[in-house]
Amino acid sequence: MSKPIIIGIAGGSASGKTSIARRIKDTFSDEKSVLIIRQDDYYKDQSSISMEERYKTNYDHPFAFDNDYLIAQIHELAEGRSIEKPTYDFVEHTRSQITESCHPADVIILEGLFVLEDENIRNLLDIKIFVDTDADIRFIRRLLRDVKERGRTLDSVVTQYVNTVRVMYDLFIKPSKRYADVIIPEGGQNTVAIDLLTTKIASIIHHSMV
C-alpha cells in the first residue's frame, strides 16, 4: 500500500469540519478507502480526577488534547498498521472504555479544532484546510449539538462559549488559518469549494499511482 494522503481540516467549534470530512468520504467511498479521524477523540483521559475537577477543565485549549498519542496513531496508519482509536465520553468528560478499530486507508482525514495549530500535526498533512464560518452560526450549531447530543444545559453551553470557546478561538484557532492551503467559508454548505477540493484530491491520488 502506498503512502496515504493525509488531509487536515481545522476551524472553530461547529464550523462544519465534520460535514466537509463526510462529503469527501462520500465522494471517494466507491473507489478509494477514506478514514476520518476526529481530534475530539483524543481529549486527555481524566478518569483519575473527580467530576468536579473535570468540569473545570478548559476543553477549548490545546493542552486538553493528547496530541502525542494522536500523532503516534497517525504514523501507525501511514505505515500500514491498524490502530485501536480512543473515543471520548462527552457526558462523563473523560476517555471512554470503548475503542474503535481503524485500518489503513488511501485517504486519512484528520479534523479538529487544533489540527493546524500544532506544528507537529501540520508536518503530517498533505493538504491543510481551514473552515471559516461566522461566529453566530457556529454558536447556534454548537448550542443545538451540545444540548441534543452531549447532555448539556442551555446555561452551561452559553457560559462555556463566553468564558472559553470564544476566547480560545481568537487566541489559538483563528491564527492557525494562516497555515491553510485552502480556506472554505460556511463549511459543508460550500459545494463549489468542496468540489474543487475533491478534484484536487483525485489528482493527487492519480499521480501517486502513476
Q: What is the DSSP string of the chain?
A: -PPPEEEEEEESTTSSHHHHHHHHHHHHTTTS-EEEEEGGGGBPP-TTS-HHHHHHS-TTSGGGB-HHHHHHHHHHHHTT--EEEEEEETTTTEEEEEEEEE---SEEEEE-TTTTT-HHHHTT-SEEEEEE--HHHHHHHHHHHHHHHS---HHHHHHHIIIIIHHHIIIIIGGGGGG-SEEEETGGG-HHHHHHHHHHHHHHHHHHH-
Average pLDDT taken over every residue of the chain: 91
More confident residue, 149 or 126: 126
Q: Tell me the average pLDDT across 31-53.
A: 93
Amino acid 120: pLDDT: 97
Query: Does some domain include residue 131?
Result: yes
**Using 50, 70 and 90 to split pLDDT, how confident is the model at 85?**
very high
User: Which CATH number do you get for residue 193?
Assistant: 3.40.50.300
Show the domain range for 93: 5-198
Amino acid 210: pLDDT: 52
Q: What total of structural domains would you count in the chain? A: 1
Query: Does some domain include residue 206?
Result: no
Amino acid 99: pLDDT: 97
pLDDT of 188 strictly over 80: no
Query: Does some domain include residue 210?
Result: no
Query: Does some domain include residue 40?
Result: yes
Query: Does some domain include residue 164?
Result: yes
Query: Does some domain include residue 32?
Result: yes
| pTM attached to this predicted model | 0.89
